[in-house]
Amino acid sequence: MDAQIAQLLDGKALAQKIQTELQQRIHELQGKIGRSPGLAVLMVGDNPASAAYVRNKERACEKVGIASFGQHFPSETTQTELEQVIHSLNRDERVDGILVQLPLPDHLDAVALLHQIDPNKDADGLHAVNLGRLVRGESGLRSCTPAGVMRLLAEYQINLKGKQAVVVGRSILVGKPMALMLLEADATVTIAHSRTHDLAAITRNADILIAAVGRSNLIAGDMVKPGAVVVDVGMNRITDDVGNSRLVGDVNFDEVKSVAAYLTPVPGGVGPMTVAILLQNTVWSYSQKSS
C-alpha cells in the first residue's frame, strides 16, 4: 500500500477566489464612495526580490480594481523624506492603504516609519495600534501573512479548537501575530524560536505546525507528528551546484509530505495568501468610508 501523501493547502487557488470576491465588493461600494480603493506601496532602493513583490502586488491591485499610488525611491532617500511622503498619503483621501516594502536600506528605521502610518491605513496590519487590537480581540487590520494562514486553514475546514499549535519563529511580522490569531481561534499555542532547546520534541507534539523562521528545510520529516497540519511560511532561495536557483520553504517538503495530513507548498501556499489579505485589508479600510 502506498504511503499516505498530505493534501496540499492551495493558497494560489484560494487567493484567486478572494480576489474575485473583492472585485465584486469594490463594484458594489464604488457607487456609494464615488471612487476606487487606493493602495500606496513605498519601495526604497533596488532589491530585486522586493521589486518582484511590488510588481506582483500592483498587478493584483489592477486585477481587482484597486488604484496603485506606489512610489519608488532611490537608496539614499532619508528618513525625513519618507516620513513626509507617508504624512501626505495619510491625508490623501484617495489612499486607503499604505505599505512600506521591507527590507529597507540599513540607514532607515523601518519601525519608526511604520509608526508614521495612520493605523486605519496600515495595510500590512503591523502598526502597534493594530497589533494592540489583535491582542484585545478587537476588529481592525490584521498582519497579512498570519491572517492569510488563518483564512487558508478555515477554507479547508481545519478545526483549531483545543488543538496543540506550535509556531516556530517569533517575528513581529509572522510569529507573534500568528500565535495570537491561533489563540483567538481556541488553539493551545507554543512559540518556539532559535533559543528553544530540543525543537523536535516540541514540534512532534503539534497538531498544527507553523514554520516561519527563514531557514531552508529546517523542519524534517521526523520532527512532525503523523497526521499534523503543516504550514510553511518560509521563502528561501537556494542554488544548486550547477547554479540553478529555486524557492524552498522552512519545511523539508519531500520528507514531510508522507507524514502530515495537510501541507502548504512553496511556492503557491502562503505567498499568494499574503497578497490577497493585503488587498482585503485595503478594501476593508475603503469600506469604512461608506458607513
DSSP per residue over 127-183, as a string? SHHHHHHHHHT--S---HHHHHHHHHHHHTT---TT-EEEEE---TTTHHHHHHHHH
- Indicate which residues carry an active-site annotation: 57, 101, 124
User: Cβ distance 143 to 180 under 8 Å?
Assistant: no
Residue closest to 238 by CA, chosen among 249, 225, 247, 226: 247
171 is known to lie in a ligand binding site: yes
d(CA 248, CA 44): 26
Q: Cα(first)–Cα(last) distance of the chain, in Å?
A: 58
Q: Give kind and range of the element (H or E) at residue 263.
A: strand 262-263
45 is known to lie in a ligand binding site: no
Residue type, 277: I
170 is known to lie in a ligand binding site: yes
Binding-site residue numbers for NADP(+) are 169-171
